[in-house]
Amino acid sequence: MPSDSARYLIFFQYLGTRYSGVMKAPPHQAVKGVQNYLEEAVRRLRPANAISLHVSSRTDTGVHAICNSAHFDLQRQNGKPPLAEEVLVDALNFHLRPESIRVTHAHRVHGAFHARFQAVSRTYVYRLAMGIRHHSCMPLTEDKLCWGIRSVGIQFWELTFRSRSFLYKQVRRMTGALVAVGQGKMSVYGVKELLEAQDSLAYPQNLTAPPDGLFLARVDYDPLDLPPHTQDDSYS
């Protein structure tokens, strides 16, 4: 890495409804991923190097994030010093203004740091809205932000899942199985059989929970990998 280049770890959040997921979509695809917009925001800072983000945690179409993370290298033109983290955050959010994406904070990290491989845990939350008679009855503030399930009385439940990593659709499948047991569509013994099968193809596809209620809530790192913020640089 050149001496005037810096590696940054950014934490960001988004509403996933209007995106193809967090990962970058190819140029021919009409609906873009969150990564497309983040990389474009970094390019608008006019770096001297090619920009490529490495996202820590994949989320699919319609899934939201209270906190996801990614790292990238940024080399400023004409030998200018690296940006302070707070300046970088403000500049990226300026260029992300039209989108439902916001960078919350950033850390300048060492050159070998990797956002995906050095994450020590990821926490997902699945939100369930109980008592919804019809999807049109969902409050506007909750539409596309939870799974509405018919029952008596409206209440919100949250299921929390924490692990170092997750398999494809694992949280949505676990949530779907729990709801299926509660609705009498699957027995507890049926869940046991699915776990013992150790085969994702054995899971009934129509029981997978929809993406609307799933949030990536946290991505955690060893504090020793995240040095204190720098305060003395400026964006110009």
Alpha carbons 234 and 225: distance in angstroms, whole number: 24
Nearest to 8 by CA among 52, 44, 40, 46: 52
Alpha carbons 21 and 32: distance in angstroms, whole number: 8
List 4, 60, 220, 225, catalytic entry: 60
Find the DSSP H helices in the chain: 34-43, 85-95, 170-182, 188-197
Told to judge if 73 belongs to the known catalytic residues of this protein, a careful annotator would answer: no
**Residue type, position 123, single letter:** T
Q: Residue 16 burial by CB count (10 A; 0-12/13-18/19+): exposed, middle or buried?
A: buried
Active site residues: 60
